[in-house]
Amino acid sequence: MCFVDSSTADSVDMSGTAMSGYECNACGNKFKGMGSKLSCPTCQSTDLKKTD
Ligand SMILES: [Zn+2]
């Protein structure tokens, strides 16, 4: 059996790594993160908004 198939590779590309974009309301830094308890990597603020 051979499963070297490009369509299969595409479907598993983002598996388990669903990153979302965020912008910090305190310093304006934009970054990507995942999970529900995020803080800004620059100023550590938790006042964030999603920018997806
Ligand atoms: Zn910040």
Max intra-chain CA distance, the chain: 54
| 13-36 tens-digit pLDDT | 555 668 899 999 999 999 999 888
Whether 10 is in a domain gets the answer no
Whether 52 is in a domain gets the answer yes
Whether 5 is in a domain gets the answer no
- 19 close to 34: Cβ distance less than 8 angstroms: yes
Mean pLDDT, residues 41-52 taken together: 95
CA 29 / ligand 1 centre spacing (Å):
5
CA 42 / ligand 1 centre spacing (Å):
5
pTM passes above 0.85: no
Whether 11 is in a domain gets the answer no
Whether 26 is in a domain gets the answer yes
CA 26 / ligand 1 centre spacing (Å):
5
CA 16 / ligand 1 centre spacing (Å):
26
